[in-house]
Amino acid sequence: MNNRALKPKTNSSSVFNYKGWRENFIITILRFACLLGIVMMIVSFPTSTTGTRILFIILYLLLLTITFLSAPYLLRAGTLITVVMLVGINALIAWGPWLDGSLFLFAAVILAALLFDNRTDLVVLGISTLTIILLTLLGYYNVFQPSADGVPATALADWLIYAASFIIFSIVLTTAINLRKKEFASVMQQTQSTFQTLTRERAKLEE
């Protein structure tokens, strides 16, 4: 009997392809971000400054480029997180703690936790936190004031509450996401190990 002929080949599609899943996941997020970007520009352009409009257009074109042209996963994920962070920082500079700047910074931290496995979320969280602290200090010494019209007077307590809320929620959610990712990785490793064991046992039985 020809053992080579009877030995089954391992079908790579039978085992969960994490790399392929990750590529599809980032493409889906980027396409959603492109749609959301159109809505954001339509809503914000009437009240935005010229500088903000130029920034949004540049960031949106960059988003379209990495979405629809071939690019490595790391470049796509890193660019998406950078774009979201820049939108958040721009909102902080324009409106201080009174608008949605922290939501974008928070989204950047969560995306970093979801898209990377090397604790990049801590780097993004650190940069976002330092940005908020810097603006808080500059505002406290009257060096910085939000640039948008009609921004309420901002006290030190407003910035401190804003910063504390951002840091606490970011740490809690990123910790939960990373714990889930570890559990998922463990389950997938066990599944693949079981699959390989069954494949070997089947090969032995058919010899």
Q: Which residues of 36-74 are buried (b: 16+ CB within 10 A; e: fewer)?
A: ebeebeeeeeeebeeebeeebeebbeebeebbeeeeeee
pLDDT confidence of residue 2: 45
Distance CA 33, CA 87 (A): 12
The CA-to-CA distance between both ends of the chain, in Å, stands at 8
Residue whose C-alpha is closest to residue 108's, from 127, 95, 136, 92 = 127
Residue 139 has pLDDT above 70, yes or no: yes
CB-neighbour burial class of residue 141 (10 A; exposed 0-12, middle 13-18, buried 19+):
exposed
Helix (H, G, I), strand (E, B) or coil at 99: coil
pLDDT confidence of residue 179: 85
Percent of the chain clearing pLDDT 70 (strictly above) = 86
Convert the pLDDT of each residue in 22-65 to its tens digit: 888 899 999 999 999 999 899 888 888 888 899 999 999 999 99
DSSP 100-112: SHHHHHHHHHHHH
